[in-house]
Chains A and B, each alone.
Chain A
Amino acid sequence: MAEEVKLFRTWSSPFPLRIVWALKLKGIEYETILEDLQNKSSLLLQYNPVHKKVPVLLHNGKPILESLVILEYIEETWKQHPLLPEDPFEKATARFWARFNDEELLPSIWNASTKQGKEQEEAIVQVEENLKYVEEELKGNVFFGGETIGYLDLAFGWLANLVSVLEEVTGLSLTASGKFPLLSAWMQNFSDAPVIKECWPPRDKLIIRYQAMIEKYTAVAAPK
């Protein structure tokens, strides 16, 4: 029976991009359904009524939600090109750092990009602390997955794509400072990998998009 794999995503959002990369690495054919988050499709709302967000992976009609949950589903369903280590401790470590990215690192970089004054200064300090942890976690490997791209590289992957965009838009220097050489090398290696490169959203469009987003957040300047 032919597999039916569909991915609901937007052209730019980093979370669905993790899924695009995973599907490409595993060589899985799928159909893309592009969403406009200002005008969500009824299908998206039907498949993700709780969060109403992308990504949604549809596999033979069944929806799977939340990017890290989807990555594990993909890993367990299609065994080729494993993304997670076999060893339970290394797996736990990868899962821990993926959550750290989503709960600490990403929000701190967003805060640094959108806050002003003293709040921004504090956010930048937090970003540097977080980036230091991530730098250490590379442990001198090419990728977080070791020799090849794995789950944690996909979780952190948005850094290689978006940090320089945010730096250009805000004038901040987060990784461009050169303070995190291993991380900077990883960002380059990750971006250069063919599977990743061919899925990069266009940079000029990203700059416009994030410029608009940041202006909107800083103009409002209301507590979140």
Chain B
Amino acid sequence: MSTTEVKVLGSTGSPFVMRAVIALNIKSVDYELLEQNLVVKSELLLKSNPIYKKIPVLIHADKPICESLVIVQYIDEVWTCGPSILPSDPYDRAIARFWAAYLDDKWFPSVRVIVLTAEGDEVKKETLQQVATGLELLEDAFPKCNKDGNFFGGERIGYLDIALGCFLPCLRVIEKVHNLKLLDEAKTPNLCKWAESFCSDAAVKDVIPETDKLIEFAKVLIAKIKARPSN
């Protein structure tokens, strides 16, 4: 299978793109990452994702697959010779899917608000509380999922590890820029240990963006948002 048969339209720094890339790494699939300009979107991106015009898009044998969690499941179902990403038991799969949906629908919007809050600007208590609540829930969920392994997926990285782990760089940005502690040895010991295991995993370690680079990226986005109040 040639490298160019699998492409990812993405951008280093995007947690959602990280999900797709980690999944491909788990399956040892060669792929080409096509860095996208998110201001002047390429024709390929607009053609591949006409509904949302967003990254990531996985292009496999010229067919586009959009939405990061849909992409991860697709990768799991196509490349069956690699390690499984979703658990094998339907109930465990439902739990993993439930938490992944929670992260995207309820939790990440608050994370995003804080990431896009400039240094020195006020971080609303309620927003911070929403982030903390999500982390507490995942902290409690961990021992119910991990079956004594280091990951939500057990012995190896799985669907929920990918769904949550992609946001670790965002959490680090928040901690550094706003001088906050989100992952805490006292309050979230499971997650602290899990984060270390996740970031040092072979499928992950080369794709985690450096915190400082991400801070710069966030600063650019913040400046853009402040310059264009209507968007």
Contact = CB atoms under 8 A, between A and B. Distances in A.
Interface stretch (B30-38, B93-101, B184-192): B93-101
Interface in B41-78: 51, 60, 63, 65-67, 70-71, 73-74, 77-78
A100 interface: yes
A70 B78 CA distance: 22
B50 to A, nearest CB: 9
Given A95-B73, A99-B70, A100-B51, A89 B90 contact: no
A92 B137 contact: no
A133 B51 contact: yes
A200 interface: no
A62 interface: yes
Contacts of A73: 90-91, 93-94
Contact of A99 (B63, B67, B77, B91): B67
Interface string A42-73: 00000000100000000100101110111011
A88 interface: yes
B91 A62 contact: yes
B73 A76 contact: no
Interface string A83-106: 000001101100110011000100
Interface residues of A, number: 23
Contacts of A76: 90, 93
Nearest to A100: B51
A38 interface: no
Contact of B102 (A50, A64, A91, A96): A50
Interface residues of B, number: 21
A77 interface: yes
Contacts of A68: 101
A88 B94 contact: no
B96 to A, nearest CB: 9
Contact of A91 (B67, B77, B94, B97): B77
Contact of B98 (A66, A77, A92, A133): A66
Given A66-B97, A72-B93, A76-B93, A88 B78 contact: yes
Contact of B73 (A50, A77, A92): A92
Interface of B: 51, 60, 63, 65-67, 70-71, 73-74, 77-78, 90-91, 93-94, 97-98, 101-102, 137
